Amino acid sequence: MSTRVIEIHEAVQGQNDQLAARNRALFEDAGVYVINVMSAPGSGKTEFLARTLADMAVHPSQEPMDRRNRLRIAVVVGDIATDNDAKRLGVTGVDVVQITTGGYCHLDADMVAKAIAKLDLRNLDVLIIENVGNMVCPATFDLGEHARIALISVTEGEDKPLKYPTLFQRADLVVINKIDLAEAVDYKGYVVIDNISRISPEAYILEASAKTGEGMADWYLYLQTMHEQHRKLPCYV
């Protein structure tokens, strides 16, 4: 890279970081816990989120006594061209805001700022941001989130974490999806988990299938716990 290219890159990142900090302050102020979900196209991100919403989400308009153990969740979905994923998630009855990036292969903090302006953040427990399917640049753009989830599937090969280290280094949670296909694709869980742990020793790792529901309870417990902890933490923003 030339010096000029590096300078432009740093300016873009600097501006994004400022906007991300502004988003984060808004999230803190509203008391909403925000997660940024990243994966390659085809890992089952939308299916994973659709099941999560069906099992865990309640619309904010629901009376508190009818919420049981559910969370008030809304979703921001990023896609390059279509709104198919937003439509799939929208049938669950939660609020979904679509960002169509018009060719950009990642979400940035400015796009998220415009999307969240359409939501009443104060009436939410959790906001899920489904990033554009891409394992490279989404990892370098802070959106103001509290936690990052990297999602891969058992069909993707054991060395994925080694090929895309930035995404995994910065992930708080790694979900290995489509565990129902493990036998068919001769999935070697110990190799994948070892590779993730080498790149990201702190990351929490879980195996799940959004299709059969296997392992999803672990993810729901994680989400509940993180949301509870966040609500109790004193805020210094």
Binding site for Mg ion (CB under 5 A): 45-46, 85
Q: Please tell me the distance from the alpha carbon of residue 52 to that of residue 130, in angstroms, as a whole number.
A: 13
CA distance 172 to 149: 6
Q: SS3 letters for 127-173?
A: EEEECCCCCCHHHHCCCCCCEEEEEEEHHHCCCHHHHCHHHHHCCCE
Query: What do you get for the CA distance between the two ends of the chain, in Å?
Result: 36
Rounded to the nearest whole angstrom, what is the least distance from the CB of residue 123 to Zn ion in the complex?
31
Nearest distance, CB of residue 164 and Zn ion, angstroms: 13
Q: Which part of the chain contacts Zn ion (CB under 5 A), choosing from 26-34, 55-63, 137-145, 172-180?
A: 137-145
For Zn ion, the closer CB: 108 or 158: 108
Q: Specify the pairing of strand 147-153 against strand 33-39.
A: parallel
Tokens read off for 48: 């994973």
Q: Which residue, 132 or 149, has its beta carbon nearer to Zn ion?
A: 132
Helix (H, G, I), strand (E, B) or coil at 110: helix
State the binding partner of 137 from Mg ion, Zn ion, none, CB within 5 to 8 A by kind: Zn ion
Q: Report the residue number, 79 or 158, with the smaller CB distance to Zn ion.
A: 79
Residue 105 binding result from Zn ion, Mg ion, none, given CB thresholds of 5 to 8 Å by partner type: Zn ion
Closer CB to Mg ion, residue 50 or residue 199? 50
Subset of residues 69 to 108 that bind Zn ion, contact rule: CB under 5 A? 105-106
Which residue ranges make up the site for Zn ion (CB under 5 A)? 105-106, 137
